[in-house]
Chain A
Amino acid sequence: MTASERWVKVTHSSNIPLHEGRAVHMGGHEVAIFNLGGRFVAVDNRCPHGGGPLADGIVGSASGRPTVTCPLHNWKVCLETGGVARPASGSGACVRSFEVSVTGGIVSVKIPAERPAR
């Protein structure tokens, strides 16, 4: 079964504090939404290493790009591309990133067409 791609209204932007992430279950996805100050980004909540909750990580940067560090074993995931910025051995891995928009103070996430393989 495939649902078509759609924007989903998630929550008021004030529910995601500055430089923090929050996890939300949407359809088959568990999405981690981050407030980077001035913009919001979203990636899969599950760390490609061992499934750690990325929404609980600390936001930082690598080579000028925003990242989150997984709270379990410190893998560093790029919040724009979903790629693994550290360790080098994880650089093949990747999490999905989602488009985010904020209108009227409401954060919306674009859920892609196909469901993730589970």
Chain B
Amino acid sequence: MMDSGGDGKGKKRAKKGMPAIDMTPMVDLAFLLLTFFVMTTTFSESKVMKVVYPAKPKDNKKIDQSQLINNAITFLLTKGKIYYYDGQFYKPGNSEGHAPTTLTETDIAGVRKLLAERNKFVIDKKKIYADQLYKKEIADTTYVNKMTEAQKNPKALKVLVKTDDKALTKGFIDIMDECMIADIGTYTEVDMTPEELQLLQTTANK
């Protein structure tokens, strides 16, 4: 008689539990995979910064500089150094009788302070609008419109960036970044004139 109890033929078998499977290799493999994926995964997506360059002037027509230069600051970049001057450029012995432009050296922290000071008009406006936005007195789109309007105001600072052949990309990106931090509405990169290059070289070699 065969019983399901397993005591046939009088032999007593020990009751078996679940068969023990050696899980070690599986676990090893699992952790190997884990390590691999942890190492190779990249979470951070690259970010991009928008930079708008002026289009090439048509038919060699000169851009009206006086419009551009109104309340502007010009940065001249060379390798690892930043110089700036205010407003229009006057070369030595100019016919208008202005004192020739001189360059002031600064560093990136100085640029931040300088731009925050000069662009106070926009930054102050931004504080007011941001406050209104926070209190829900104005809508999102109104805020954006008002900011654009403030940045286009003649009182808002404009920034021109010019680089020589030794300047590095990092220096350029840093200045563009500072313009963004200071909420400058108009900032762009333009070609350096020979007079400016000469002034930059003499100032840098001093």
- A and B, one complex? no
